Structure 1
Amino acid sequence: MTKLSVNINKLATLRNSRGGNVPNLITSAQDIESFGAQGITIHPRPDERHIRYQDARDLKKVVTTEYNIEGNPIPSFIDLVLEVRPTQVTLVPDAEDAITSNAGWDTLKHKDFLVDVIKTFKANGIRTSIFVDPNVEMVKGAAETGTDRIELYTESFAHLYDQGKTKESIQPFIDAANMAHEVGLGINAGHDLSLDNIKFFKEHIPHLLEVSIGHALICESIYLGIENVINMYLNKLK
């Protein structure tokens, strides 16, 4: 079964919009795990507009499933990850002012940088994953960095799938996943995956280990309830 890691950034956004501590991220993460999610993901950004660096430290004390911290490996992020030591770090090439992640790494252009960063994390017992577009050459490049896994950036899949272009939406991801498996990389995926498209994606992507879902899951939970939504995802991921 593909694991479900719930990204709780949007809960932090809601909390920060009013100050105070509602919703409480610690309680939320514990509840999400109790509802069946197999991981918690956070993506702190330098301006801490949703997840704060202190949240990363506090969550480490309570998360009992897989703990995944995403972000651009700037010095402050690297220091945070080395301090917290999550299960997994996912490296994302975000600009500081990016609203959300919008591209994968050019693993050829940034190979030397990625090699150094990944080596540091792995030396500290942290599993590494890097965000990549569904491009076979970028997957091959990822294998040269020493990373354990890739996370396929699925925005293009979701966009085309919504237009009914199912074959066009999925084929690049099938090719990328097959290449990742061939070169010995684990396969994660995330971005714009939802209850509408997750079953189709899961059924077509071989060797899919984990999906990270936040925005859609939290939005769906407004109508359906978060415990119900988590179990709906788990059923579609079987």
Structure 2
Amino acid sequence: MNPTHRRPRLGVNVDHVATIRQARGTTYPDPVSAAALAELAGADQITIHLREDRRHIQDRDVRVMRQTVQTRLNLEMAATEEMLEIALEVRPDMITLVPERREEQTTEGGLAVAGHEDTLGPYLERLRASGAYLSLFIDPEQAQIEASAKLGVEIVELHTGDYCEAAAEFTNKQVPSAFDRNTEWRRLRDAAQLAASLGLTVAAGHGLDTKNVLAVAAIPEFEEFNIGHSIVARAIYVGFERAVAEMIDALAEGRSLAE
């Protein structure tokens, strides 16, 4: 199937609905409800990151969403023993391994796969017992892509953070971006083409909004986007369903540029 013939899939990350809830220790807003609204608006997947410090998504959220998500549940997690046990119990549809540091605000870069195959390989083998599709969140680099393919995962999600920083509409001119937008776009394009040539499904995520996603969605090898913060932020003003629908429209518009 030629991906230029349809829009890319949208995975809606509802982590930051939980961030608002955890800020006051209430039971609302509920990310489970947000996931249901996202699906009603046309989302193809729900993505959640269960962090070791439980700063937003909680164990209860994962278990309830496993029972209620009607599309596909993508569990992002660190490669730890605790998370392995949870994944084997919950059995999400998809598991994405991500790097994680307690002091970071959000995931700051891709997983170091190249050079760590000896530890990641056995972990992934154990994780396969969950029955989930396996994905690695990596930087758009040849070594990381080739190492991921050798480990036999089905999906790689390319970190778009550097591109998004360079593509920011409002930039502090005294602290210019360290990244060039065109260079980072070409880096994503080349990485996506390489990953697809190796038989991997190619996804993208981190820092994307309805504006900067257009050029990335125009790269036909990208079949899926996982986007959360900008959708949750937009939902404050227009509601969750409309915010999701706007992102779906942006993905379709971007993909039309590839035709």
For Structure 1 versus Structure 2, the TM-score category normalised by the shorter chain is: over 0.9
Could you tell me how far apart the structure 2 residues matched to 1:236 and 1:20 are?
A: 33
**What's the offset of the Cα at 1:220?**
1.6
The residue matched to 1:234 in structure 2 has which SS?
helix
Could you tell me how far apart the structure 1 residues matched to 2:167 and 2:183 are?
A: 8
Partner of 2:251: 237
Give the aligned CA root-mean-square deviation in angstroms: 1.5
Partner of 2:242: 228
**What's the offset of the Cα at 1:155?**
0.3
Partner of 2:177: none
The residue matched to 1:179 in structure 2 has which SS?
helix
**Counterpart contact for 2:92–2:130, Cα < 8 Å:** no
**Counterpart contact for 2:37–2:240, Cα < 8 Å:** no
**Counterpart contact for 1:152–1:188, Cα < 8 Å:** yes
Could you tell me how far apart the structure 2 residues matched to 1:177 and 1:104 are?
A: 15
Gaps of 5+ in 1: none
**What's the offset of the Cα at 1:169?**
2.5
The residue matched to 2:167 in structure 1 has which SS?
helix
**Counterpart contact for 1:6–1:37, Cα < 8 Å:** yes
Partner of 1:209: 223
The amino acid that maps onto 2:183 is: E
- The answer to whether the aligner puts 1:9 opposite 2:15 as a matched pair is yes
**Counterpart contact for 1:12–1:23, Cα < 8 Å:** yes
**Counterpart contact for 1:199–1:236, Cα < 8 Å:** yes
Partner of 2:199: 184
The residue matched to 1:134 in structure 2 has which SS?
coil
Which one of the candidate residues 197, 200, 217 is aligned to 2:215?
200
How many residue pairs get aligned? The number is: 237
Gaps of 5+ in 2: 1-6, 172-179, 253-259
Partner of 1:94: 100
**What's the offset of the Cα at 1:89?**
0.4
The amino acid that maps onto 1:85 is: R
Q: 64-73 vs 111-120, which deviates more?
A: 111-120
Could you tell me how far apart the structure 2 residues matched to 1:124 and 1:28 are?
A: 25
Could you tell me how far apart the structure 1 residues matched to 2:49 and 2:78 are?
A: 9
- CA deviations 1:194-222 (Å, max 9, x no partner) are 1111111101x232121111111111222
Could you tell me how far apart the structure 2 residues matched to 1:18 and 1:96 are?
A: 20
Using the size of structure 2 for normalisation, the TM-score is: 0.87
The residue matched to 2:95 in structure 1 has which SS?
strand
Moved over 3 A (4+): 163-166
The residue matched to 2:157 in structure 1 has which SS?
strand
